[in-house]
Amino acid sequence: MKAYDMRKLHKKIQKAQDARRYEHTLGVEYTSAALAMRYGAPMESARIAGLLHDCAKCLTDEKRLSLCHKNKIPVSEVERANPFLLHAKVGACLAKKKYGVKDKDILNAIQNHTTGRPGMSLLEKIVFIADYIEPGRNDAPNLDETRKLAFTDLDRALLKILKDTLDYLESGSKDVDPMTRKTYEYYSMQKENE
């Protein structure tokens, strides 16, 4: 695996994000590293994916849509109606083109950190969960329980986050990305078949 200059990456990301987003980003990087240590994932990969997971978050909706068009990134109807959802896909593209990430697992972790996907790798699960439980988060339901679960049973934590996310989105009449539901159904079936 390529060695990354973490100091340089930090400086670039700090410039690309506002102070609040950068603080969240550092929390996700830190939590991804902690989960990687706990579950035996490559720590540098976890740190990089955590650091870059929101690299497209501070772009305008127009810029995200434009980058999707320019880079032939498919946009669903839900994403077209809610372009902020595209930050994960666009982020993976920027991680590759702007930040020099070649590792497919890191790129997938960035791309799938908001919705998940069926059959996620260990790194993808780690970044998905770290984004939800990082120390600066305090508005999600059952957060203390989910944080503990993340360090004892990664798959149960993943399923809990997906369920809580779906419950939240459906209760507020917000659009649900179909991939979130598909991911939840996939991991629910996995748990039932254990």
Q: In the predicted model, what is the mean pLDDT of residues 37-63?
A: 97
115: its two tokens: 């919705």
How confident is the model over 94-144, as pLDDT tens digits? 999 999 999 999 999 999 999 999 999 999 999 999 999 999 999 888 899
Cβ pair 175, 81 in contact under 8 A:
yes
Q: The dihedral of CA 38, 22, 87, 104: what is its sign?
A: negative
Say what the pTM is.
0.95
Q: Which residue segments constitute the domains of the chain, with CATH numbers given?
A: 6-140 (1.10.3210.10)
Number of Cβ within 10 Å of residue 93's Cβ equals 23
- For 141, residues 6+ apart whose C-beta sits below 8 A from its C-beta are 164, 167, 168
CA distance 82 to 190: 30
